[in-house]
Structure 1
Amino acid sequence: MKLCYQVATPDVAISPAVTAFQGELEDSFGRLSELGYDGVELMTLNPSELDWELVKTLADKNNLDVALVCTGEIFGQLKLSFMDKDESVRTEARKRVKGIIDFAAALGAYINIGRVRGQFCDALPKEGSYAYAIDAFKDISDYAGKKDVKIALENVTLMQTNFINTIEEAVKVVNDVDNEYFKIMMDVFHMHIEEKDMFKEIEKYADYNIHVHLADNNRRYPGHCGLDFEKIISAFKDVGFDGAFCTEIFQIPDQDAAAQGAIKHLRPILNKIYE
């Protein structure tokens, strides 16, 4: 079990909408290590602009495991997705994700698929859009398998996309892709909104899950609002999950306060449940 914090690499434009610690990696990694985090989840846009060896060196220097590389800003800042009606956009989305797979392979990390999967639109029949997505997922999974990188398909609320909102929907897609490197991850914030009973879903689909995102029900740091994180983390422990728990939160009131608030609330809970 590792407690991680999301960190944006310098190629991601600084924005209050970004759910990650931002700045120079040496500063970000140093501060999170100082606070007591075990690892990081990197949010990146164009890893070809980064010095991969330096990223690995800085993570090792600060005793931080790189658990996963997030693809979210490929859509967030570039609006690329696998279901766009424009073939050139779909092709570029795949290319970008494969670049992130290469980056993750160099770091020994997973990647996730969030909003880059796209969504249904009026301009295309649903069957056609779904076929675009499945074809892309199969392509990137074959590519990832050759690099020994697992892909974690993320459930995302209907407020952000109309495709793959629930864990059950994510599992259906995973089964349609049918590749051992293509799994799911569970995002507690989105599950709280979309699931009738998130605890039943955690138990039912435990075998598919390889990564967990944590945020309170207002998307701020855990402990800020109403979710019972002792109950949530206990549910993951009870089904045998021993991977990375990573925050994906708004950096409110600022990133340092958010990082401090998250670990102050989560570390005692994780220590109690896992140790």
Structure 2
Amino acid sequence: MTQSAITVSLVEEARGGPFVFWDGLPDAFQRAADLGFDAVEIFAPGPDAVDRAELRQLVASTGLAVAAVGTGAGMVKHGLNLTDPDAGRRAAARDFIKSMIDFGGDFSAPAIIGSMQGRHGGEVSPEQALDYLAESLEELAAHAATFQLPLIYEPLNRYETNLINTVSDGVAFLDRLQSDNVKLLADLFHMNIEEANVAEAIVAGAGHIGHVHLVDSNRRAAGLAHMDYSPIAAALRAINYDGYLCAEAFPLPDSQTAAEKTIETVQRFFA
């Protein structure tokens, strides 16, 4: 059964970005629980930035799960990505992601690779960048498998990467991997930019989609713009999607309103 989740950012350098909660884990877990969410997705500066005992206590006291952990701080804080022309920096990027896989693994939460995928350009050709990305995902997927978790890879819109922008391109890329332990993140904001039809793209991604970011067309909370969720909900049912619908949205007009609007949309269209 599809479950709901909501994001919290602990990365000060990313303040103003598309994460709903910003005031620490206790605040996020309590507010999420009060509103009826099932889980929290955590965007942390690194694995050691979170007190794991505190997080275990929050999970136990609220009954919420950790839906996933983001790795974007590797790019935001350290400038690391998986397609860097320098082999040492690519290795450092992989090591950072492995540390986040380890952190998430303790809470049965997969790690998401979004901005850390990087891009081609300069001395890195499109073909070389995809080769670098494939090599890294193979290694990282094997590491994630030690926790019996998938690795989540996110196609981004053209303004954020020039590698893979659509679900169909993501499926084709995963098909070239030897590993079958990489799943796609279908982010409705990126899809609204890149897909001709969001619902049809979801159906075409059947079997490959492992996580969904629920957001509206303007990257505000679901229900605060013009996205039509009826066909999207039907598409997710058609592919028997049973993962999380996680709000990754700007905290506008404020975090509480964004959270309330999200859960209202989840209950209206996806329950």
Provide TM-score, normalisation by structure 2. 0.94
The corresponding residue for 1:8 is 9
Query: Match for 2:3: what amino acid?
Result: K
Identity %, equivalent residues: 28
Unaligned runs of 5+ in 2: none
Q: Deviations over 1:76-127 (max 9, x none)?
A: 3332100112223212111110001001110011121111011011222222
- In the TM superposition, what is the alpha-carbon distance from 1:30 to its structure 2 partner? 0.6
Q: Deviations over 1:196-240 (max 9, x none)?
A: 122222112211111111110000011101001122112101221
TM-align CA RMSD: 1.6
Q: Deviations over 1:218-265 (max 9, x none)?
A: 000111010011221121012211211001111112212211221123
- In the TM superposition, what is the alpha-carbon distance from 1:167 to its structure 2 partner? 0.7
Greater displacement, 49-58 / 201-210: 49-58
Please give the alpha-carbon distance, in whole angstroms, between the structure 1 residues aligned to 2:20 and 2:44.
10
Please give the alpha-carbon distance, in whole angstroms, between the structure 1 residues aligned to 2:108 and 2:12.
21
Aligned residues: 270
Unaligned runs of 5+ in 1: none
- SS of 1:75's equivalent in the other structure is helix
The 8 Å contact of residues 12 and 44 in structure 1, kept in 2 or not, is answered as: no
The corresponding residue for 1:186 is 186
Provide TM-score, normalisation by structure 1. 0.93
Classify 1:198/1:268 alpha carbon distance in 2 versus 1 (closer, same or farther; 3 Å). closer
The corresponding residue for 1:45 is 45
The 8 Å contact of residues 48 and 99 in structure 1, kept in 2 or not, is answered as: no
Please give the alpha-carbon distance, in whole angstroms, between the structure 2 residues aligned to 1:115 and 1:155.
9
The corresponding residue for 1:80 is 80
1:175 counterpart = 2:170: no
The 8 Å contact of residues 20 and 259 in structure 2, kept in 1 or not, is answered as: no
Please give the alpha-carbon distance, in whole angstroms, between the structure 2 residues aligned to 1:14 and 1:22.
10
Within 5 A, what are the aligned runs for 1:115-194? 115-194=115-194
- SS of 1:81's equivalent in the other structure is coil
Please give the alpha-carbon distance, in whole angstroms, between the structure 2 residues aligned to 1:68 and 1:49.
16
The 8 Å contact of residues 191 and 198 in structure 2, kept in 1 or not, is answered as: yes
Please give the alpha-carbon distance, in whole angstroms, between the structure 1 residues aligned to 2:227 and 2:217.
6
- In the TM superposition, what is the alpha-carbon distance from 1:32 to its structure 2 partner? 1.2
Please give the alpha-carbon distance, in whole angstroms, between the structure 1 residues aligned to 2:78 and 2:252.
24
The 8 Å contact of residues 43 and 73 in structure 1, kept in 2 or not, is answered as: yes
The corresponding residue for 1:206 is 206
